[in-house]
């Protein structure tokens, strides 16, 4: 991969990782607290409000793009320090992607798409689990974003040193 292409992919990976991070941050600060009070009523409103769009349309493309680009950059990298940073970024990108699969399949299916009456007694607990899972996921995405940013800084410092 040419240096210019590598840098563009690195910038895109960082952009999509930030996109993912700030989406989860918004959920953690704005959405989740509203679902911890009167959980059944809040989720009934959620389900009736989101009929055309969905948070999956926001997250799935950026999660896939960030994980794939970060992984490709790791495999294409030849320089030792850069490869080490990208390895960490790739690991910390794949972990929250896996956690997202669990969150979507085990929690979101019940909270946002399921029959709320069926899970009525569990909704508060499930919403709390979603909040904790989202916080953990957000931390891992933030760490991946940090290592991507460190890769950018390293590449820029290496270019300056060569001048």
Q: What tens digit of pLDDT does each residue of 7-53 get?
A: 999 999 999 999 999 999 999 999 899 999 999 999 999 889 888 88
In tens, the pLDDT along 97-124 reads 999 999 999 999 999 888 999 999 999 9
Helices and strands of the chain, counted as H and E runs: 6, 0
Q: pLDDT at position 99, please? A: 97
**Distance (Å, whole) CA 153 – CA 141:** 18
**Distance (Å, whole) CA 95 – CA 144:** 10
Range of the domain at 122: 3-162
Tally of domains in the chain:
1
The runs of H, that is alpha helices, within the chain are 3-26, 32-35, 39-49, 55-76, 80-102, 123-162
């Amino acid at each position: 991969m040419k240096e210019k292409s590598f840098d563009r992919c690195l910038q895109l990976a960082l952009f999509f990782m930030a996109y993912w991070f700030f989406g989860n941050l918004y959920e953690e600060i704005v959405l989740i607290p509203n679902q911890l009070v009167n959980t059944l009523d809040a989720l009934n409103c959620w389900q009736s409000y989101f009929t055309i769009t969905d948070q999956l349309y926001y997250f799935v493309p950026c999660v896939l793009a960030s994980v794939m680009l970060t992984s490709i950059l790791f495999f294409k990298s030849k320089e030792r320090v850069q490869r080490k940073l990208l390895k960490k970024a790739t690991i910390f990108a794949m972990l929250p992607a896996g956690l997202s699969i669990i969150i979507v399949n085990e929690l979101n299916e019940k909270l946002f798409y399921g029959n709320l009456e069926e899970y009525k007694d569990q909704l508060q607990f499930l919403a709390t689990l979603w909040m904790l899972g989202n916080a953990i996921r957000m931390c891992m995405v933030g760490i991946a974003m940090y290592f991507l940013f460190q890769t950018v800084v390293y590449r820029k410092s290496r270019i300056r040193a060569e001048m």
